[in-house]
Structure formats: structure tokens, C-alpha cells
């Protein structure tokens, strides 16, 4: 009997030890995927007329980057029923996820105001409002890419192809699934040019639920050498302004390669952006 129990325990231990361990510390790459900050309304769903109003809002940064200039606002309240003493509040910088802060940083703000009187004879009134958060942040795009100055690829437009030459497999077009922010590079096209030159076309997309305002290119380097870049379309110098319905932008960079060979080299692009996101909430005012 003891042998049987021991055998079971041994098997159990074996199974447990084979399970997936939680990723921790340096093994986790937070800068992947698309994600948004989370906003939570922590106040009551119902409030009574002629009462003080307290509306606590929690903002949780689960991006892979810090967010700065965070402004939390409440919009859409009907002034006849709700009077807010202030409809905007500013937060300190909220750190994003990192090896030192696995869950990112969360902070609460409290809005205060007054619930006014309902209309004569009315029993209740439903108020729809929105909690909006706007911030400034960045996103980094830092893949290692296989580059070549071979002009044999000239004129080839369309699907990716592989020409194994030397150390790495050259891919003309590569897709990416985000860099841990709502905004990220989703596509990279590598176009070799004459005389060891190379052109990189990056598609930057907003996959979050909010809206991107202005994107500014902070850094762009290939193998440590700076690239010359510009946004296509609605751009001013190093910046691109997203129109209301716009969801993507194209950044075109050009640079020189250090060698005629095909080789792998790091690409680093850092983009700064303004972002705004809101969430619909509901508050019932009772008599």
C-alpha cells in the first residue's frame, strides 16, 4: 500500500514539476503585443439627489512603457443633474510593466461634485458619462533584421522572398505583432538600394481602443548608424498627425549599410506619441 502511495506521489511530483512556470524577471518580454491602459470606475452605480458625489477612478498602466502627462477627465455629465467641482485631474507619471514592476503601476483619482435635484415628479434619471484618460508615451521597435545591399532584389515588389546569402535569410517584408503599446510597427519592408543603401518602410498602426494624436520620431538607427526618416502623408518634420478616423501611418527611413554582404543588424526606432482613451459609464440618480 505504501508503495502505491509513494508511486502516486512520485508521479504527482513529476507531473507538477513538468508544468509551466510563471515567467518572471528577465525572461519576460513585455514589449510585445498590443495593449491599452485600463480605466476602472470604482464609484457607486446609484446615487441620490441632493447629495455629495464622489467618483473614484482608477488608472492602471499595463503597457511596457511609462506614461507621462496623464490627464484623467470626466465628460458628458448633464450639468442640470451633476455638478463636478473639477472635471480634470492630472496624475504623476505611471510606470509601465518592467522587470522591476511586473504589473505596471496603478493610481486612483477622486472626482468630487454634487448630485442636483431631479425634475419635479421624476423618480430617477440615468446619466451616461465617459471617463477619459490622455497621456504621452513612447514605443520602441528594435528587431534584428537581415539586410543586404544586393540590388538583385530591385524591382521585386510584393511577397517576401528568401535569398539565403551568407549569414542570414533576407526577408523583404516582415510582419510584427506589436511592441507592448496600443501603437506599434506592424510591418517592415526592406528595400536594398544602389551603393550600399537601404530603405526601410514601416507601417505604424494604432490597434488600441483609443485615439492617437501626434507621433514623433525620436530615434531611428540601423546598426547604430542614424537613419534619415520621414512620415508619409500628414507630416510635419519628424511628426505625423493622426486624423480622427486614421489608424495607420507609414514611416520611410533610408540609410547606408556597413558592408556589401548580407548580415543581421539591429534596427532601433523610438516613437513618441499622444494618446487618448475613454470608457462609457453609467450612473443612476435616485430620488
Partner 1 sequence: MIDLFRLLKKAVIANKQGFREFGSEKEEKPKKEPEIKDKDPRVKNFFSVQREKPKAESRPSPSSPSRRFSLPSFNAPSLPKIPAATGVYIGLIILSIIGLILKTYIAYHPGGSLFLSIILGFFFFIAIHYTPEAQLKETMVFMTFALDTFTQFVLGLFPESEFKNWLITYYVFAWVILAVVLFLTGVFDTMGAGEHLGKGGLLVLMLIIGFILFLLFPILVTGPVAMQDETHAEYYGIAKAQVVKIADSLTETKNVWHDYFTCTFGVLGGSYKYDGCIEDKRITRYCTNNVRGATEQQACFQEQKKIALQGGAATVEGAVSDAIKQVTKVELKVDEFFPKKTTEPQKFYPVSLEVQNPRQQTFIASISCLFTQQKINISGKVFVNGQEQNQVQIREKEQHVSIDCQPSADLKGKYTLSYAATLSGMQTFSFLKRAFISEKIDATLRKQIDADNFKSKDKISQGPAEFALLNFKFGTGDGSAPLVLAEEPVSFSFSVANLGSGEVLKVNSYNFYGLWERGFSVDDERVGDKECLQGGEIRLIAAQTKKRETSELKRCYLTLPPDLAQLTEKEFKVETFVADLNYDYKLTKSIPIEVTPLENVQTPELVS
At closest approach, how far in Å is the CB of 283 from partner 1?
13
Q: Which x/- pattern over 37-76 shows residues binding partner 1 (rule: CB under 8 A)? A: --------------------------------------xx
Angle at CA of residue 124, ends 118 and 127, nearest 5°:
85
**Integer Cα distance of 33 and 271 in angstroms:** 16
CB of 99 or CB of 284, closer to partner 1 = 284
284 interacts with partner 1 by CB under 8 A: no
Burial-class residue 179 by CB neighbours within 10 Å (0-12, 13-18, 19+): buried
All cell numbers assigned to 100: 522591476
Give yes or no for a contact between 263 and 166, defined as CB atoms under 8 angstroms apart: yes
Q: Which is nearer to partner 1, 20 or 126 (CB)?
A: 126
Q: How many residues bind partner 1 (CB under 8 A)?
A: 20
Strand partners, 60: 38, 106
Distance CA 237, CA 216 (A): 9
- The rounded Cα 146 to chain-centroid distance in angstroms is 26
Using rule CB under 8 A, residue 244 touches partner 1: yes
Distance CA 150, CA 246 (A): 35
Nearest distance, CB of residue 145 and partner 1, angstroms: 36
Q: Within positions 69 to 88, which residues make up the interface with partner 1, using CB under 8 A?
A: 75-81
Dist CA 272 CA 287 (whole Å)? 48
Within 126-155, which residues bind partner 1 (CB under 8 A)? Answer: 128, 130
Q: Which three cell numbers stand for residue 86?
A: 473639477
C-alpha torsion sign, points 8, 14, 20, 25 = positive
Q: How far is the CB of 250 from partner 1 (least distance, A)?
A: 22
| Nine-digit cell string for 165 | 546569402
**Segment interacting with partner 1, rule: CB under 8 A, options 59-67, 118-126, 136-144, 214-222:** 118-126
Among 5, 24, 85, 120, binds partner 1 (CB under 8 A): 120
Is there binding between residue 211 and partner 1 (CB under 8 A)? yes
Instruction: Name which position in 54, 99, 122, 286 contacts partner 1 (CB under 8 A).
Output: 122
Asked if 263 interacts with partner 1 (CB under 8 A), we say no
Q: Which residues bind partner 1 (CB under 8 A)?
A: 75-81, 119-125, 128, 130, 211, 244-245, 280
Amino acid at each position: 500500500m505504501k508503495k502505491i502511495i509513494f508511486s502516486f506521489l512520485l508521479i504527482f511530483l513529476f507531473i507538477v514539476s513538468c508544468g509551466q512556470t510563471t515567467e518572471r524577471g528577465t525572461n519576460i518580454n513585455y514589449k510585445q503585443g498590443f495593449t491599452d491602459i485600463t480605466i476602472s470606475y470604482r464609484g457607486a452605480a446609484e446615487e441620490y439627489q441632493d447629495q455629495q458625489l464622489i467618483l473614484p477612478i482608477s488608472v492602471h498602466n499595463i503597457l511596457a512603457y511609462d506614461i507621462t502627462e496623464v490627464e484623467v477627465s470626466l465628460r458628458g455629465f448633464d450639468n442640470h443633474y451633476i455638478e463636478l467641482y473639477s472635471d480634470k485631474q492630472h496624475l504623476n507619471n505611471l510606470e509601465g510593466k518592467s522587470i522591476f514592476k511586473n504589473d505596471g503601476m496603478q493610481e486612483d483619482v477622486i472626482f468630487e461634485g454634487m448630485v442636483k435635484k431631479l425634475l419635479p415628479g421624476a423618480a430617477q434619471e440615468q446619466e451616461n458619462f465617459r471617463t477619459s484618460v490622455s497621456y504621452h508615451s513612447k514605443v520602441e521597435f528594435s528587431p534584428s533584421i537581415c539586410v543586404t545591399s544586393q540590388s538583385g532584389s530591385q524591382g521585386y515588389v510584393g511577397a517576401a522572398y528568401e535569398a539565403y546569402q551568407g549569414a542570414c535569410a533576407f526577408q523583404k517584408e516582415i510582419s510584427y505583432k506589436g511592441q507592448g503599446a496600443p501603437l506599434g510597427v506592424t510591418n517592415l519592408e526592406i528595400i536594398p538600394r544602389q551603393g550600399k543603401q537601404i530603405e526601410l518602410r514601416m507601417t505604424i498602426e494604432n490597434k488600441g481602443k483609443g485615439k492617437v494624436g501626434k507621433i514623433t520620431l525620436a530615434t531611428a538607427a540601423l546598426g547604430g548608424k542614424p537613419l534619415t526618416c520621414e512620415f508619409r502623408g500628414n507630416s510635419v518634420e519628424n511628426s505625423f498627425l493622426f486624423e480622427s478616423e486614421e489608424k495607420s501611418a507609414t514611416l520611410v527611413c533610408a540609410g547606408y549599410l556597413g558592408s556589401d554582404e548580407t548580415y543581421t543588424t539591429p534596427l532601433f526606432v523610438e516613437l513618441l506619441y499622444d494618446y487618448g482613451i475613454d470608457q462609457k459609464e453609467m450612473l443612476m440618480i435616485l430620488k
